Amino acid sequence: MKEKIIEPKTLPGFMELLPEKQILFNQMIDKIRQSYEMFGFLPLDTPIIELSEILLAKAGGETQKQIYRFEKGENDLSLRFDLTVPLAKYVCMHKNEIAFPFRRYQIGKVYRGEKPQKGRYREFYQCDIDIIGDEKLDIIFDAEMPSVIYSTFNTLGFSDFTIHINNRKILNGLFEELNLKEKVTDILRIIDKIEKIGEEAVKIELKKIDIKEEKIEKIIDFIYIDGSNNEKLEKLINLNINNETFLSGIKEIKEVMEYTKIFGVPEENLEFDLTIARGLDYYTGTVYETFLNKYKELGSICSGGRYDNLAQNYTEKTFPGVGISIGLSRLFYQLNEVNLIKEEKKSIAKVLVVSMDEKLDKAIEVATALRNKNIPTEVYIQNKKIKSKFKYADKLKIPYVAVIGEEELKNNTVTLKNMETGEQEELKIEEVIKKLL
């Protein structure tokens, strides 16, 4: 009874790594998690499937098109496309059980049916932290975010990166002043692209939405205010704009920058950048983007901001919040492409125990002794020639092979071979443990 053979394949746009890459990917996840937990963020794991009416309560056109949506029984279901909407749902549902300010992290897969292309995935990991307040959330939390970003990318092995920071109230205030308030959303969306498309293209797009040339000039001049962080702040203050929103933005960014210093973020890693607006409507105050200084073409590797109201679609209550997100699948792909992944270990097992002959008793005994000391150890069990066993260790990049032959059996030792240097020495188990710990 022969069954039909189906060609095995994985869907395009879905990351599926070889174990050696998966080890590196998991190391990045572990470090991000470790860094988030170091700041006391609580773990959350929400379902990947939600009711469509919940997920799409606010979603705009692009999201609607990209979403994985289907019916099951009588339910209209969707796969989550980010971790923020599920958080909003969660906070509303559990507002009486959780403690505020609610600090949570979530690391999980999200789904967007974009056109697959190099480094763009339809299933990808997001690593988010958010702090949600009950009606109020002090501005100092906005200064804690850059310190988490700083610590996280440090933990990942990076130092040459800059966190760009801005406050949307400054821009909004200016637009109020210029009588362009009703076009703010459009203008911000256009300005946000200045790094990508350049000044001229931005001007053209602003013209298209009927903004007069002189006002366009003012906007451009404004976002190009330069100098050090403090100089920019001073120049802004010297504009003497007496708009309430504007002044509140200035006050906030000043406080955030001061506290960021207290939080230990070095000045060279933080830049007050008036060109950062973030495309999404819902940011209302501080916004962040992070760039690797030597690889700015990778785009922002960690972004986020402050929002006044997380969950307006689900409740009359106000939950202000601030958060950041790392799109890890894409970041991993990019870092891998430019060879920037810091490898700490390349294998799971630290040592492969092999027997010269078929008998495995001693090999298993040695392995158990090593595992009892928390040294990840594999026994080569399949009956193969010794050469194949070494080849296996090599392919898996296992750094040590412990060989047990007649001599070693007699002496109650193993011969430990360093697979990188080729050095080998006959050692007692206790000495092996000491060496590998």
Q: Please list every residue from 112 through 141 that binds a second copy, using CB under 8 A.
A: 113, 122-123, 133, 136-138, 140-141
- The least CB distance from residue 191 to a second copy, in Å, is 24
Total Cβ atoms within 10 A of residue 20: 13
H or E stretch at 359: none
Name the DSSP class of 97. Answer: T
- The least CB distance from residue 49 to a second copy, in Å, is 6
H or E stretch at 183: none
- The least CB distance from residue 239 to a second copy, in Å, is 30
Compare residues 98 and 356 and give the one whose CB is closer to a second copy: 98
Indicate whether 65 belongs to the interface with a second copy (CB under 8 A). no
- The least CB distance from residue 317 to a second copy, in Å, is 10
Q: Which of 424, 165, 345, 185 is nearest to 272 (CA)?
A: 165
- The strand pairing partners of 105, in sequence order, are 43, 129
- The least CB distance from residue 127 to a second copy, in Å, is 14
- The least CB distance from residue 305 to a second copy, in Å, is 17
Enumerate residues 87-106 that contact a second copy by CB under 8 A: 88-90, 92-94, 97-101, 103-104
Indicate whether 157 belongs to the interface with a second copy (CB under 8 A). no
- CB contact at 8 A, 127 and 325: yes
Indicate whether 279 belongs to the interface with a second copy (CB under 8 A). no
Compare residues 368 and 418 and give the one whose CB is closer to a second copy: 368
Compare residues 136 and 342 and give the one whose CB is closer to a second copy: 136
Enumerate residues 196-235 that contact a second copy by CB under 8 A: none
Name the DSSP class of 224. Answer: T
* Residue selected from 174, 341, 396, 414 as contacting a second copy according to rule CB under 8 A: 396
- The least CB distance from residue 126 to a second copy, in Å, is 14
Enumerate residues 304-323 that contact a second copy by CB under 8 A: 311-316
Indicate whether 183 belongs to the interface with a second copy (CB under 8 A). no
C-alpha 150/C-alpha 133 separation (Å) is 23
- The least CB distance from residue 290 to a second copy, in Å, is 20
User: What is the full DSSP assignment across 253-321?
Assistant: HHHHHHHHHHTT--GGGEEE-TT---S-TT--SEEEEEEEGGGGGG--SSEEEEES-S-TTT-SS---E
Indicate whether 378 belongs to the interface with a second copy (CB under 8 A). yes
Taking contact as CB under 8 A, which single stretch among the options 13-21, 172-180, 206-214, 286-294 is the one that binds a second copy? 13-21
- The strand pairing partners of 78, in sequence order, are 50, 69
Size of the site for a second copy (CB under 8 A): 103
Indicate whether 385 belongs to the interface with a second copy (CB under 8 A). no
Give the number of C-alpha atoms closer than 13 A to the C-alpha of residue 328, restricted to the C-beta side: 23
- The least CB distance from residue 365 to a second copy, in Å, is 7
C-alpha 404/C-alpha 220 separation (Å) is 73
Indicate whether 185 belongs to the interface with a second copy (CB under 8 A). no
Going from the C-alpha of 378 to that of each of 295, 349, 359, 402, 424, the distances in angstroms are 39, 6, 16, 10, 18
Indicate whether 156 belongs to the interface with a second copy (CB under 8 A). no
- CB contact at 8 A, 393 and 422: no
- CB contact at 8 A, 410 and 421: no
Taking contact as CB under 8 A, which single stretch among the options 225-233, 294-302, 331-339, 395-403 is the one that binds a second copy? 395-403
Indicate whether 266 belongs to the interface with a second copy (CB under 8 A). no
Compare residues 100 and 158 and give the one whose CB is closer to a second copy: 100
Going from the C-alpha of 203 to that of each of 100, 169, 206, 214, 355, the distances in angstroms are 44, 21, 5, 11, 72
Q: Report the SS3 class of residue 119.
A: coil
* Residue selected from 81, 175, 259, 400 as contacting a second copy according to rule CB under 8 A: 259
- CB contact at 8 A, 10 and 16: yes
Indicate whether 189 belongs to the interface with a second copy (CB under 8 A). no
Indicate whether 83 belongs to the interface with a second copy (CB under 8 A). no
- The least CB distance from residue 242 to a second copy, in Å, is 28
* Residue selected from 7, 210, 406, 423 as contacting a second copy according to rule CB under 8 A: 7
- The least CB distance from residue 411 to a second copy, in Å, is 20
* Residue selected from 127, 156, 335, 349 as contacting a second copy according to rule CB under 8 A: 349
Indicate whether 427 belongs to the interface with a second copy (CB under 8 A). no
Burial 118-149 (b: 16+ CB within 10 A, else e): eeebbbbbbbbbbbbbbeebebebbbbbbbbb
C-alpha 368/C-alpha 211 separation (Å) is 74
Indicate whether 41 belongs to the interface with a second copy (CB under 8 A). yes
- CB contact at 8 A, 321 and 312: no
